[in-house]
Amino acid sequence: MAGVNKVILVGRLGQDPEIKSISPQSKVANFSIATSETWMKDGQKQEKTEWHRIVVWGKLAETCARFLTKGKQVYVEGRLQTRSWEDQQGQKKFTTEIVATTIQFLSPAGGERDQSYQPSTSSSNDFGAQDFGPEPQFDASEEIPF
């Protein structure tokens, strides 16, 4: 049986994307996004932020580097990937990252309409976005209907 490796995140960029050319035809962009959750514990608001490394390839990488900046809200869809390497001291290091296949810009960009970019389906170069506001608050005392 085949497995499923799918990640969907909505968060804010912690830094501007860094783009590198692997070859004249191949580019890769890297950035991180933060996702946060809040809850009440003993009458005190608690908050936890998770940071996620995002890797984007090809035209999508170029588009992200052009339009995304630190603080922008973004929807990311892709797969988890873990890589390993040896550092200069010979220690084995690991990192887990999301290889993005779909990026949707959620923060406003000059009042243009909302667009998502999927390399196989989108041919538009107009990547405006709509602001969906801050992330919704999660109240752990509410009952989930399923």
Q: What mean pLDDT is predicted for residues 123-138?
A: 39
**What are φ and ψ of residue 79, in 5° steps?**
-135, 155
What pLDDT, in 10s, does the model give residues 24-43?
889 999 999 999 998 999 99
- Determine the structural domain holding residue 50 and report its residue range: 7-117
- Is 146 domain-assigned? no
Total structural domains in the chain?
1
Q: Which amino acid is at 119?
A: P
Q: Two tokens at 25?
A: 């035809």
Whole-number pLDDT of residue 33: 94
| CATH assignment at residue 80 | 2.40.50.140
- Is 144 domain-assigned? no
- Is 2 domain-assigned? no
- Is 138 domain-assigned? no
Whole-number pLDDT of residue 85: 84
| Alpha-carbon distances, residue 91 vs 2, 83, 85, 95 (angstroms) | 33, 14, 8, 13
pTM of the complete model: 0.70
**What are φ and ψ of residue 123, in 5° steps?**
-120, 5
- Is 132 domain-assigned? no
